[in-house]
């Protein structure tokens, strides 16, 4: 039977987490092995988070139906946010030899949703142990409600994802018992997350974050004892029931939180496809003038490297006497500068968009592109307009009709099979009026 709704992304269940970093589309190989496909999915090293959120949404079909694609993004991306808020994303980080980490932090503007930016030294880091995590849970849930009150529905779900992460961490046995070192990962790594399930779940009357964290913390401390003892005596296979007690209690707490949010906002807005407004610029910072938290990356944009092992490639924002541009040099496989996911443009199937930009290049393929996805970032179609490569500035135009099933246009500039330097500037995207 073909899996439907929130279940459809997962082809196989993993047997462990954080085995190795992958050279595939996702940073961790367990996610590639699970068959996940969303372009914007960003599973974390300790995948228990995602399976706990999945178990919670499974018992809340009304909430999942309301959230549409945001439910799948909450499962596979947002509830991992606080674990991916590190400046080494996008660099040849220390954790893997010879491959760059995808820039997940900028891709989703995670520092904004976690209210902590390591590079800008803005906000403050919140620890992932219950005593500190409770602050993250309460703070990010307040942010979610503020965004929802202001009608920023998708922002609200992303803040909610960060809040959920802290709640889930509170019930992880090694987090609750504050166990560090190699025992931490061994205690936490679930051997069979497909067994997390809360079929007979009954929603709480109301969600009390402090009481929930206290309950999860006590349970986690209680279960860490036998887990550590079993690991020491070499019976790792027997820790699963102890882990599941905690994971299921986490899933109930997450379901309570989601239910509380749904009761407050379920009638006030929805996540249905929307028509893009016509007659105005749809891109944020399309001229790249505004620098991001590093001047080499424009605000609201992120670099993408198809081959993360390619050490020779350059992709950066450059300010010169001629103005501001993005430069890509020596790209083997496709390298792109794309809008972050929170800045993508939404539209209806059949709607016509016009992307324009200026490109200067010679030799190889470079141009402008638009990637269309469904509402949970699953690829629907890609469109590209390469430059002729005359060595002078060329103005390119790409006309895109949103394909059936598409709801998102993600514009960008790209180069591939390209030796030398391609320069890009003045991007613009508008929706054509009928």
Give the footprint of Zn ion on this chain (CB under 5 A): 83, 128, 169
Distance CA 410, CA 54 (A): 26
- Which CB sits closer to Zn ion, 83 or 107? 83
Alpha helices by DSSP H, 59-208: 61-67, 69-76, 104-107, 110-114, 130-149, 153-170, 173-176, 182-188
Whole-angstrom CA distances from 383 to 108, 386, 408, 421 are 22, 10, 13, 22
d(CA 35, CA 11): 5
Nearest CB to Zn ion, comparing residues 170 and 373:
170
Q: How many CB atoms lie within 10 A of CB 116?
A: 18
Q: Which residue is nearest to Zn ion (CB)?
A: 128
Give the C-alpha separation, 375 to 380, whole Å: 10
Give the tokens for residue 393.
């500035």
Helix (H, G, I), strand (E, B) or coil at 238: helix
**Quick check: helix, strand or coil at residue 69?**
helix
Taking the complex as a whole, how short is the minimal distance between the CB of residue 18 and Zn ion, in angstroms?
Answer: 12
Angle between helices 153-170 and 209-232 (to 10 degrees): 50
Q: How far is the CB of 169 from Zn ion (least distance, A)?
A: 4
Minimum distance, C-beta of residue 175 to Zn ion, in the bound complex (Å): 7
Q: Which CB, 155 or 188, lies closer to Zn ion?
A: 188
Q: Which is nearer to Zn ion, 169 or 256 (CB)?
A: 169
Nearer to Zn ion, 125 or 269 (CB): 125
Q: Give whichever of 133 and 157 is closer to Zn ion, judged by the CB atom.
A: 133
What lies within 8 Å, CB to CB, of 318 at 6+ separation is 324, 325, 326, 327
Cβ 49 to Zn ion shortest distance, Å: 7
Contact of 53 with 59, CB cutoff 8 Å: no
- Least distance (Å) between residue 406 CB and Zn ion: 33
- Residue 199 CB, shortest distance to Zn ion, in Å, is 26
CB of 133 to Zn ion, least distance (A): 8
Q: For residues 169 and 374, which CB has a smaller minimum distance to Zn ion in the complex?
A: 169
CA distances from 65 to 4, 10, 202, 254, 346 (A): 11, 18, 19, 17, 19
Q: What DSSP string describes 187-233? A: HH--S-GGG---TT----SS--HHHHHHHHHHHHHHHHHHHHHHHHT
Minimum CB distance to Zn ion, residue 165 (Å): 6
Per-residue tokens: 289: 């003038």
| Structure-block tokens of residue 161 | 């994802």
Q: Residue 206 class from Cβ within 10 Å (0-12 exposed, 13-18 middle, 19+ buried)? A: exposed
For residue 83, the minimal CB distance to Zn ion (Å) is 5
Could you tell me the smallest distance in angstroms from the CB atom of residue 221 to Zn ion? Answer: 17
Quick one: tokens of 90? 């996008």
Closer residue to Zn ion in complex, CB, 83/256? 83
User: 41 or 301, CB closer to Zn ion?
Assistant: 41
Helix and strand counts by DSSP (H, E) for the chain: 12, 13
Residue among 83 and 375 whose Cβ is closer to Zn ion = 83
């Amino acid at each position: 039977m073909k899996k439907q709704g929130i279940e459809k992304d997962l082809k196989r269940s993993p047997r462990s987490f954080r085995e190795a970093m992958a050279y595939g589309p996702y940073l961790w190989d367990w996610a590639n092995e699970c068959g996940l496909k969303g372009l914007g999915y960003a599973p974390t090293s300790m995948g228990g988070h995602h399976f706990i959120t999945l178990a919670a949404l499974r018992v809340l079909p009304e909430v999942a139906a309301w959230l549409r694609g945001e439910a799948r993004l909450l499962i596979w991306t947002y509830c991992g946010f606080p674990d991916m808020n590190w400046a080494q994303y996008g660099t040849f980080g220390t954790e893997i030899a010879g491959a760059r980490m995808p820039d997940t932090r900028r891709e989703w503007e995670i520092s904004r949703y976690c209210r902590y930016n390591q590079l800008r030294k803005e906000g403050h880091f919140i620890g992932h142990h219950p005593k500190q995590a409770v602050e993250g849970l309460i703070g990010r849930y307040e942010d979610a409600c503020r965004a929802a009150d202001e009608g920023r529905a998708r922002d609200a779900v992303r803040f909610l994802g960060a809040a959920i992460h802290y709640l889930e961490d509170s019930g992880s046995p090694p987090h609750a018992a504050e166990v560090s070192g190699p025992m931490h990962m061994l205690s936490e790594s679930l051997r069979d997350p497909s067994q997390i399930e809360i079929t007979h779940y009954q929603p709480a009357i109301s969600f009390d974050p402090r009481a929930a964290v206290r309950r999860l913390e006590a349970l986690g401390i209680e279960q860490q004892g036998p887990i550590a003892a079993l690991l020491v005596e070499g019976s790792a296979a027997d820790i699963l029931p102890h882990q599941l007690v905690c994971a299921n209690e986490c899933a109930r707490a997450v379901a309570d939180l989601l239910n509380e949010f749904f009761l407050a906002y379920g009638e006030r807005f929805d996540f249905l496809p929307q028509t893009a407004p016509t007659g105005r610029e749809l891109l944020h910072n399309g001229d790249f003038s505004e620098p991001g938290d590093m001047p080499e990356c424009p605000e609201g944009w992120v670099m993408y490297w198809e081959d993360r092992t390619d050490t020779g490639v350059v992709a950066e924002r450059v300010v010169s006497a001629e103005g501001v541009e993005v430069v890509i040099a020596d790209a083997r496989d496709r390298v792109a500068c794309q809008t972050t996911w929170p800045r993508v443009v939404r539209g209806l199937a059949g709607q016509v968009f016009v992307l324009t930009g200026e490109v200067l290049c010679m030799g190889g393929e470079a141009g402008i592109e638009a990637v269309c996805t469904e509402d949970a970032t699953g690829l629907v179609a890609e469109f590209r307009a390469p430059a002729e490569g005359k060595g002078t500035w060329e103005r390119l135009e790409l006309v895109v009709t949103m394909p059936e099933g598409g709801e998102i246009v993600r514009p960008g500039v790209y180069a591939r099979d390209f030796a030398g330097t391609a320069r890009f500037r003045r991007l613009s995207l508008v929706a054509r009026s009928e």
